[in-house]
């Protein structure tokens, strides 16, 4: 894939935006992302790491073909982008974004599809759309609001402020800020750690959080048992419950379960 590479290691699928130096997102990269999502689903991977080649994660969308395009063409393009990004967001396993350098526009909106964002200490985030007179077309503003609150999301979207990683961490958009030199190693180590966990339970948590994001606590409560109860039929849960009960009866600490993703 010329604009996006995919590799597999220890149950972790790594997606790399590979269009340096700006890693701008165009039709080809989005189509490659769609293909990569399908490949990951068939790979047996249990966690995903997304990162960028070079000094920057992504400057955002490749706007070079936008001037002069008719509105209906642009709408069709952006609807396709949104559909693929949302498929990425709903991958039923943990997704970790490792963000270095500049992370703007569509690149920021892609990173926001991850469950967790690790950022290098010099990373910078922003919505440059205000400078073009448009909105965060792939849902960035309200995904920031989901993490940081409406007032902060409004400020960043309406000013196109370049926000440092430390500020993004303080407001809950970024999970961890690490030294630039350690970013990929730490993000990959975390991905490998969660890849050894209860894959089906992770998928259930993602589904419940999505239900909450759509309809609040009441909506998540309504979805809870349809999502949660099938887990009790899973091999991992049956083994885990039995080992926990056996340990309880014997007065031993609960053993650490070797999850198999089943």
Active-site entry in 10, 55, 79, 129: 129
Active-site entry in 10, 55, 73, 109: 109
The answer to whether 233 is a known catalytic residue is no
The answer to whether 109 is a known catalytic residue is yes
SS3 sequence of the chain: CCCEEEEEECCEEEEEECCCCCCCECHHHHHHHHHHHHHHHCCCCCEEEEEECCCCCECCECHHHCCCCCHHHHHHHHHHHHHHHHHHHCCCCCEEEEECCEEEHHHHHHHCCCCEEEEECCCEEECHHHHHCCCCCCCHHHHHHHHHCHHHHHHHHHHCCCEEHHHHHHCCCCCEEECHHHHHHHHHHHHHHHHCCCHHHHHHHHHHHHHHHHHHHHHHHHHHHHHHHHHHHCHHHHHHHHHHHHHHHHCCCCCCCCCCCC
Catalogue the active-site residues: 109, 129
């Amino acid at each position: 894939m010329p604009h996006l590479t995919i590799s597999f290691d220890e149950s972790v699928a790594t997606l790399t935006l590979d269009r340096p130096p700006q890693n701008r997102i165009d039709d080809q990269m989005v189509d490659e992302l769609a293909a990569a999502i399908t490949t990951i689903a068939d790979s047996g991977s249990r966690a995903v790491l997304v990162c960028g080649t070079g000094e920057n994660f992504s400057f955002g969308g490749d706007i070079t073909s936008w001037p002069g395009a008719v509105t209906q063409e642009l709408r069709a393009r952006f609807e396709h982008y949104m559909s693929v990004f949302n498929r990425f967001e709903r991958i039923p396993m943990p997704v970790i974004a490792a963000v270095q350098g500049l992370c703007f526009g569509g690149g920021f909106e892609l990173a926001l599809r991850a469950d967790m964002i690790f950022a290098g200490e010099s990373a910078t985030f922003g919505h440059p759309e205000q400078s073009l007179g448009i909105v965060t077309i792939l849902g960035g503003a309200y995904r920031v609001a989901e993490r940081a609150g409406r007032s902060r999301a409004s400020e960043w979207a309406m000013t196109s402020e370049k926000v440092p990683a430390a500020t993004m961490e303080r407001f809950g958009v970024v999970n961890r800020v690490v030294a630039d030199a350690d970013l990929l190693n730490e993000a990959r180590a975390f991905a490998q750690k969660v890849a050894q966990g209860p894959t089906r339970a992770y998928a259930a948590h993602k589904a419940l959080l999505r239900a909450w994001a759509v309809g609040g606590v009441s909506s998540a409560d309504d979805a809870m048992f349809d999502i949660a109860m099938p887990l009790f039929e899973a091999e991992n849960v049956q083994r885990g419950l039995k080992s926990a009960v056996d340990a309880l009866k014997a007065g031993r600490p609960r053993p650490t379960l070797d999850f198999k993703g089943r």
